């Protein structure tokens, strides 16, 4: 009951109801009446005064809850600030983080009144792994960590691999017409997939890697090819113990 919580809050802060009533400039009988008869029967002005003294939210107390008072600030914004806010809210993920990082740099440089420039930190060119062997868009081939090459991505191409941890060539035509033989799949390394994700999966004791659409159907997992000429691979029961998710395909690029 909110009145009991209110009494406990008063006692915890002021040791007694009487001491609180004196501090809040409210008659003891008024406070005692609120606690005994209920908040909903009390005078609104007395409730507001009580909440202000305890620094709790009036609206929340009226709903039977005790919450810290929320301070609402009215800040006028310019049309330019409003336009910026609309654009910022339309961004997602790393793009929003990039804007925040630039703002931090701008605010930091503003502390130096002698500088009219923003010094961006030096970035190391990202190291990226492209597997030398191919991920099958057919029947599957072995995928081994040691069969990989390290590449350094130039700044001009860094955006295209921002969300990918490695790349792998596609082999076969089971994902036609969307993905073709020789295309490059950009893969984010993760061990789970959501229903409908495109993933690189390793199945079987021989560690065969394949690129397929991941579908969960009941207690089974379906590896679905886009090409209707190929059959779905249904994995269920103990077979699921031999299925390993290497990552999620975040983008594919045509053969180059």
Provide the annotated active-site residues: 174, 212
* Rounded Cα–Cα distance for residues 129 and 149 (Å): 6
* Rounded Cα–Cα distance for residues 132 and 180 (Å): 17
Tokens of 48: 């507001």
Which one-letter DSSP state was computed for residue 68? Answer: B
Q: Which residue pairs from 191-199 have beta carbons closer than 8 angstroms and sit at least 24 positions apart in sequence?
A: 191/244, 191/245, 192/245, 193/245, 193/248, 197/248, 197/249, 198/248, 198/249, 199/245, 199/246, 199/247, 199/248, 199/249
Q: Is residue 197 helix, strand or coil?
A: coil
- Alpha-carbon distance values, 183 to 23, 76, 171, 178, 255 (Å): 75, 52, 8, 10, 4
The residue behind tokens 């109801």 is 17
* Rounded Cα–Cα distance for residues 125 and 174 (Å): 35
Gyration radius from the chain CA atoms: 31
* Rounded Cα–Cα distance for residues 175 and 113 (Å): 58
């Amino acid at each position: 009951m909110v009145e009991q919580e209110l009494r406990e809050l008063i006692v915890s802060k002021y040791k007694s109801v009487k001491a609180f009533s004196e501090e809040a400039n409210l008659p003891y009988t008024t406070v005692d009446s609120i606690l005994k008869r209920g908040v909903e029967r009390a005078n609104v002005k007395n409730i507001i005064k009580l909440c202000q003294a305890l620094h709790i939210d009036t609206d929340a107390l009226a709903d039977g809850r005790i919450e810290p008072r929320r301070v609402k600030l009215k800040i006028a914004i310019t049309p330019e600030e409003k336009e910026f806010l609309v654009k910022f809210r339309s961004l997602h993920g790393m793009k929003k983080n990039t804007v925040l990082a630039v703002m931090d740099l701008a605010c930091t440089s503003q502390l130096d009144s002698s500088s009219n420039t923003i010094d961006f930190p030096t970035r190391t060119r990202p190291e990226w792994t492209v597997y030398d062997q191919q991920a099958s868009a057919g029947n599957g081939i072995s995928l081994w960590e040691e069969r990989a090459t390290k590449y350094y991505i130039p700044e001009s191409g860094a955006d295209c691999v921002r969300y990918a941890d490695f790349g792998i060539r596609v082999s076969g035509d089971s994902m036609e017409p969307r993905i073709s033989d020789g295309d490059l799949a950009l893969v984010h390394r993760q061990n789970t997939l959501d229903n409908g994700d495109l993933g690189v999966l390793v199945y079987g004791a021989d560690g065969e890697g394949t690129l397929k659409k991941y579908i969960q159907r009941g207690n089974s997992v379906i590896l679905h090819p886009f090409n209707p000429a190929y059959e779905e691979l249904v994995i269920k029961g103990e077979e699921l113990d031999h299925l390993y998710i290497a990552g999620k395909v975040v983008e594919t690029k045509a053969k180059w």
